[in-house]
Amino acid sequence: MSEVTVFKSWVPNWAIIAILFFCLLQSMILLGVYTSNVTYAASFLDVEVEDLQFSMCVTYGTFLATLLIESRFFNFFPTKKYFLVIYSLAALTFILTAYTENFSLFIILRIVEGIVMALPVVSLRQFLISRFKSKNALIIGFTINYGALMLASPFIMNIAVWLLENYDWKYMAYGSALFEIISVALIMFTFKDSRLHKKIPLYQIDWTSYILLITAILCGAFFMVYGEKKYWFDSFQIIAALIFALITGGLFIVRQLHVSRPTFDLRVFRYDNFRTGLLLSVLFYIARSTLNICHSTMFTVWNWEPSRVAHVQYLNVIGNVIGMVISGLFLAKSVTSKTIFVIGFLLFAVFDFWFTFLFVPDISLADIAIPYMLQGVAVGILFVPLVLFTVSAVPTHFAPFAGIAGVAGRFWGSVMGFALIQNTTVFLQRKHFTKFRQFVLSESPETQMRVEQMTKSFMTKGYNIDDATKLGMKQIIGSVSKQSVLLSNMEIFTVMGSIMLIVVFFLLINQHLKQTFDIFKNRIWDN
């Protein structure tokens, strides 16, 4: 892409970089606005938390599939008009979601949002990288792009809490639409009317592969997200989703193997280090999903206010920034990928084991601050190096397919992380709650004594004896429930920390990572 014919000559380079970065934040808004505070969003739409998780999967899954064909659209339309239409459509979609209380229609709008999120991201990132003259331009560009995406949730949640405390939920959508409108104005200000590529007819797009892939992704996500809630294979919907995912996924693979110009070239999987990078990406996102347990505990056990939880997340953001700076320095100083990955996953293990001892009925912010920040450092250290490592593990002509596969790894890692944590948490909490109840049966002398004490306490507050007794038993059951949650969390974090140590061990004995880093280094600096 020629930067000379794209931007207006009088716009300074620093302004172009700032505007491109601002426009790239669209991905942050589209992914985070309805998942930053699922309780309020679920209440507004009258749906369950799983429904909001599925809506995120719909947007991210559509984004993943659309990446396969976005270059055709970019080549077909003039650059400036292309971006103007995308951001205008995104603004319109947000306005429509503000007035949509039907969940099926909401999902359709989320599909549209996934498409408009995917269409500009690759080209804008390439434009951004082209503005840096440093030999580290690729590192800087990817760090800015993925760093913004990674930091999305805490910032959006804080904005959401402020809006919800002062205005109606719909103002979340209004604010998001305003962001898109500002992007439209900035594009008008920065870009020239020009065409960069030869116009290729859109009918040459492999729409069959696109539909097959979207169907496989959405059915697979439905299976993962709703499996436990619908009792797995006792549900016809779950069985049908799995069958459709397997059939359409299989047909997509067969088609790619037999067409002359595949939409996704499966030969990228021939490279050992590419498979290693993809596996590490999935493990990274599964490990990252444990942070949701911390936030859930803050709400349900420690009874922290939403605004406090939102503000606490800035500690994790600080860790993210520190980690990204460290990873940038590591990459610029040619530190091997093996070393970076070992440090990152080792920090994940430290976070998991440390937090295992912090799941207690009450705790102060000072007690959790350091491990909570360490998790952010681990994420920041691993994120961009994992992306660059995966892309550089294959020859240059396979790099776009490797990048898309990396997005797929991050998507399925997120979905699997949510499903794994959700299913494990439900199973362990039921198990421990059942065991704990054996010790608090109403026939137990200790329970009777505690109920009597609580009954007297409530009676002194003006309750009659029946209501006071019921409240006393309810408080005991609530205490048992909290204990089962804490014990379950401890077990999950212990297992996850052990898995992280196993990952570190295999990284240390892996002999191929240095070879891939040497290839990656040569591609960046043209040595």
Q: How confident is the model at residue 354 (pLDDT cuts 50, 70, 90)?
A: very high
Q: Which of 231-235, 294-298, 377-381, 419-423 has the highest mean pLDDT?
A: 377-381
With a cut of 90, say whether residue 246 has pLDDT above it.
yes
Question: What was the pLDDT predicted at 1?
Answer: 46
How far from chain centre, in Å, is Cα 322?
Answer: 19
Q: Which of 35-39, 440-444, 454-458 has the highest mean pLDDT?
A: 454-458
Considering only residues 457 and 483, tell me which one the structure prediction assigns the higher pLDDT: 483
Structural domains for the chain: 1-203 (1.20.1250.20), 207-262 (no CATH), 269-429+493-519 (1.20.1250.20), 431-492 (no CATH)
With a cut of 50, say whether residue 2 has pLDDT above it.
no
7 DSSP 8-state letter: B
Question: What was the pLDDT predicted at 525?
Answer: 46
Give pTM, 2 decimals.
0.77
Name the nearest CA neighbour of 459 among 446, 449, 470, 448: 470
- Cα angle for residues 103, 107, 113 (degrees, 5° grid): 140
Its sign, for the CA torsion 161, 153, 290, 169, is positive
Rounded to 5 degrees, φ, ψ at 235 are -105, 130
Cβ atoms of residues 212 and 248 within 8 Å: yes
With a cut of 70, say whether residue 155 has pLDDT above it.
no
Tens of pLDDT, residues 386-422? 888 887 777 777 777 777 887 787 778 877 777 777 7
Tens of pLDDT, residues 175-189? 788 888 888 888 888
Which residue is listed with tokens 């944590």? Answer: 421
Q: Which of 63-72, 396-405, 498-507 has the highest mean pLDDT?
A: 498-507
**Residues in CB range of 462: below 8 A, 6 or more apart:** none
CB atoms within 10 A of CB 233: 10
Question: What was the pLDDT predicted at 446?
Answer: 62
- Cα angle for residues 48, 51, 55 (degrees, 5° grid): 150
Its sign, for the CA torsion 330, 332, 336, 341, is positive
* pLDDT > 90 fraction of the chain, expressed in percent and rounded: 9
With a cut of 60, say whether residue 517 has pLDDT above it.
no
Alpha-carbon distances, residue 243 vs 50, 55, 58, 240 (angstroms) = 21, 21, 18, 5
Provide the 3-class DSSP secondary structure of residue 172.
helix
With a cut of 90, say whether residue 501 has pLDDT above it.
yes
Cβ atoms of residues 485 and 426 within 8 Å: no
Question: What was the pLDDT predicted at 208?
Answer: 87
**Residues in CB range of 346: below 8 A, 6 or more apart:** 500, 501, 504
Mean pLDDT of 340-348: 92
Considering only residues 480 and 377, tell me which one the structure prediction assigns the higher pLDDT: 377
Cβ atoms of residues 211 and 63 within 8 Å: no
Mean pLDDT of 101-125: 84
With a cut of 50, say whether residue 519 has pLDDT above it.
no
With a cut of 90, say whether residue 346 has pLDDT above it.
yes
Mean pLDDT of 465-487: 69
Provide the 3-class DSSP secondary structure of residue 271.
coil
Q: Bridge-partner residues for 7, per DSSP?
A: 191
* Distance of alpha carbon 208 from alpha carbon 220, whole angstroms: 18
**Residues in CB range of 95: below 8 A, 6 or more apart:** 173, 174, 177
Cβ atoms of residues 80 and 185 within 8 Å: no
First-to-final CA distance of the chain: 23
Tens of pLDDT, residues 68-92? 888 888 877 888 888 888 889 988 9
Cβ atoms of residues 157 and 310 within 8 Å: yes
Question: What was the pLDDT predicted at 524?
Answer: 47
Mean pLDDT of 482-494: 85
Question: What was the pLDDT predicted at 129?
Answer: 75
Q: Which helix (H) or strand (E) holds 408?
A: helix 399-437
Alpha-carbon distances, residue 46 vs 34, 50, 54, 160 (angstroms) = 13, 12, 14, 18
Q: Which of 233-242, 445-454, 508-517 has the highest mean pLDDT?
A: 233-242
Question: What was the pLDDT predicted at 170?
Answer: 74
- Cα angle for residues 56, 114, 222 (degrees, 5° grid): 40
What six digits make up the tokens of 284?
A: 């990274």
**Range list of H helices, 438-512:** 445-459, 465-509
With a cut of 50, say whether residue 356 has pLDDT above it.
yes
Rounded to 5 degrees, φ, ψ at 36 are -75, -30
Mean predicted lDDT score pLDDT of the chain: 78
* Distance of alpha carbon 17 from alpha carbon 119, whole angstroms: 19
Considering only residues 289 and 26, tell me which one the structure prediction assigns the higher pLDDT: 289
